[in-house]
Structure formats: structure tokens, C-alpha cells
Amino acid sequence: MSDLTLYSMPSSGNSYKVRLLLALLGRDYCHVPCETQSAELKQAKAEGHLPLGKLPALHLGNGTILSESNAILWYLAAGSDWVPNDPLTQAQMLGWMFFEQNRHEPVVAVRASLNTYPHLKDEATPRVMAELLETGHALLQLMEDHMQGRAWFAGASASLADIALYAYTHTAGDRGGFEMARFPALNAWCARMAALPGYVGLWDHA
């Protein structure tokens, strides 16, 4: 019986990144799927399981509830190889994690959401979608340029930066309509991520 319970949205990259890290760490947990607009999501909110009103939320055995995907990653990875020991490399990792939430997710993930969820159809105007596509390609190019001659985003091995950025990048073509053929270094990096021992895909949740 695990002391971890994860409330997560199966189709969400923010939720997926937590499930991915748990799998890569080999950690057991109880998964409570709460898809967008589902009865399960409404129930989880009503019962106070999502104190910030959003997913994912990680419930610890002592009753503490952690919110915000990258904060959950930081907590789970403490003391593991997923957090570099070197302060400079650690800061670089955190920089990419901040980039992911502040710049990458609001564009790449949002376009995928507008392109995927029927209840958001009215927001997916041609102008909005075109602007998100242009901005998203520019952000992906920043990542592509950084990955020239590199295997991972921060340091010599995979870190939380890679998990955070992978969640929405690896589906940016299929779900967001971004032209991923432009970014061979990112595609190679995605392949390296998918080859990691313990890897699970977006839909391979417990």
C-alpha cells in the first residue's frame, strides 16, 4: 500500500510529468484520474482534494497535499540523480523549469488544449491559433538551439528540466499542430527520454 496518492488529469502534460517521474523513480502510488469536465474532477474539488483547485495534486501519507507540477517534481526527486548536486547545474535546471511554466506551457500546451478539447472550441479562433503557432515555433527554436551538441537540458545527465519540458514538447506536433520536423535536436532528445528505463507514455498511467 503506497503512502502517495496522485490526483491527475490523464490528458494533461502537467499531470503526466509527475506520473513520468514516479515511474522513472520506481515509486508506487495510487492514481486518481480526474479528466477535464469529469464527475471525478468535480468530486475531487468538492471534497477538498485539490486545495488550489487544479491538477495535479499529490497527497502524502501524513495528510499534506502538494500542488503545482514542478514543485511536486522537486519534492519527489530530492536526493535522487534527477537533481544535480552542482549548484550551477541545479540553477540551470531550475531556469528551464521556470521557462517551461512561464513561457513554454502557456503557448505550446495552450495551443494543444485549444486544438484538442471540444469545450474550448470557441476560444480557438484563427487569430489566436496563428499567434500561438508562431510564438510556439520561436520557443521551440530556442530549445533546439540550446540542444545543439547536448544530450540533456542541464548538465551531463537527465534532470527534472528534461521531464518538465518533455511533457508538452513530445506531443507538440500531434496535439498542437507544431511543425516538429524543424527541430531535429529536440526530436532526438525526445527519443532519448522515451528510451529511459522505467519510462511510461502519456496514457500509460497506473
Ranges of residues in the chain with a pLDDT under 70 are: 1, 205-206
The rounded distance, in Å, linking the Cα atoms of 67 and 73 is 10
Distances (CA, A) of 12 to 79, 105, 168: 27, 11, 8
* Residue 64, C-beta contacts closer than 8 angstroms, at least 6 positions apart: none
pTM value?
0.95
pLDDT value of position 204:
87
Query: Which grid cell is 163?
Result: 521531464
Shared domain check, 104 and 57: no
Please say which residue of 57, 77, 97 terminates a domain. Answer: 77
Range of the domain at 181: 87-194
Query: Which grid cell is 190?
Result: 525526445
User: DSSP secondary-structure letter at 120?
Assistant: G
Helix (H) and strand (E) counts in the chain: 8, 4
Shared domain check, 187 and 91: yes
pLDDT value of position 205:
64
The rounded distance, in Å, linking the Cα atoms of 96 and 159 is 10
pLDDT value of position 3:
92
SS3 135: helix
The rounded distance, in Å, linking the Cα atoms of 21 and 166 is 11
pLDDT digits (tens, 9 = 90+) for 12-39: 999 999 999 999 999 999 999 999 888 9
pLDDT value of position 113:
96
CATH number, domain of 133, equals 1.20.1050.10
**Would you say residue 203 lies in a domain?**
no
Shared domain check, 175 and 91: yes
